Amino acid sequence: MTFTPPPAFEPRIVFENVSKTFRRNRVLDGISLEILKGERIALVGSNGAGKTTLIRCLLGEYTYDGTVSVGGLDPRANRSVVLARVGFVPQIPPPLKMPVGELVSFAASVCHSDPKEMVRVIEELGLDFGRIRRLPFVKLSGGMKQKTLIGIALGRPSDILIMDEPAANLDPEARHIFFHQLAERKDDSVMVITSHRLDEVAALVNRVVEMDMGRVVLDDRVADSVDMTSRMSCDLKLVRADEAFARTIGEWGFEGAGTRWSGMVNGPDRLRFMCMLSRYTGLIAGLEMVEGKEVAPCAPEI
């Protein structure tokens, strides 16, 4: 079977003075933002800052005041065209009862793409599609749902990729593979990834937009230096053994005992790792981190 994807459109998103009010609650307050081809945006902010609402506006799900343009189109008036070209991983998986196999076929038909490619991404993330394809989507674990939704979003042609807290439920190996998959599509599209923690996504992006109470409070370009596919080999020496540290470093997949520990950290996880280490500053007697491309087991998610 051949698949003819809808014509590509310009990977560009523009918000002009966009406001959104739920009853009397002003959730977006005059947002203006232009996102261009090649930009990978971390949309960060505390709970309730308005990140998901902004995304729902650009997907054409909500009415709003102001103007939103996605690939030159009004997403409200052109929802099906926009959704056919925008890959989306939602924060909360929809409670769908349909079997996983049907969901993938349905999603592929909506965006005129080959379901096999979605299955390939899902399996790359570590799911055995043959075993889950007859299960109702709603019965999958949180991580399995997220892997399925990532597969659907990445396993299709798209000019714009929107991900709302996509890595929250992924196991460590899947996180590493997911970073690889994002690295592959790095340059010619637009990516928006939301998180309430910048350290989670800092290494994946080249621009940070922070929201607070429905406004953009920071818009910064960041150095595009971290190799998303790299891993760092790390050796740690402590001044003394510590039970709490041993537990935490064990959760990162490190091996060792007492005062000596070693393990691998995903390149994009390095900031999170250092944040964790900073809690134990007084204990650290020595630290060596060396970037490499090893394929050894990596540091698990905390």
Contact residues for ligand ATP (CB under 6 A)? 22, 25, 27, 45, 47-53, 91, 196
Minimum distance of ligand ATP from residue 200's CB (angstroms): 12
Q: What gap in Å lies between CA 156 and CA 154, rounded to an integer?
A: 6
Nearer to ligand ATP, 91 or 248 (CB): 91
Minimum distance of ligand ATP from residue 169's CB (angstroms): 14
Are 50 and 214 in contact, with CB atoms under 8 Å apart? yes
For β-strands 260-266 and 231-238, DSSP reports them as antiparallel
Nearer to ligand ATP, 31 or 49 (CB): 49
Nearer to ligand ATP, 200 or 301 (CB): 200
In a 10 Å sphere around its CB, with 0-12 CB exposed, 13-18 middle and 19+ buried, how is residue 278 labelled? exposed
Minimum distance of ligand ATP from residue 164's CB (angstroms): 7
Closest to 68 in 3D by CA, of 118, 91, 34:
34
Nearer to ligand ATP, 53 or 189 (CB): 53
Nearer to ligand ATP, 100 or 209 (CB): 209
**CA 133, 110, 98: angle at the middle one, nearest 5?**
30
Minimum distance of ligand ATP from residue 24's CB (angstroms): 11
Minimum distance of ligand ATP from residue 162's CB (angstroms): 12
Are 130 and 65 in contact, with CB atoms under 8 Å apart? no
Helix (H) or strand (E) holding 154, with range, is: helix 142-154
Q: What gap in Å lies between CA 122 and CA 116, rounded to an integer?
A: 10
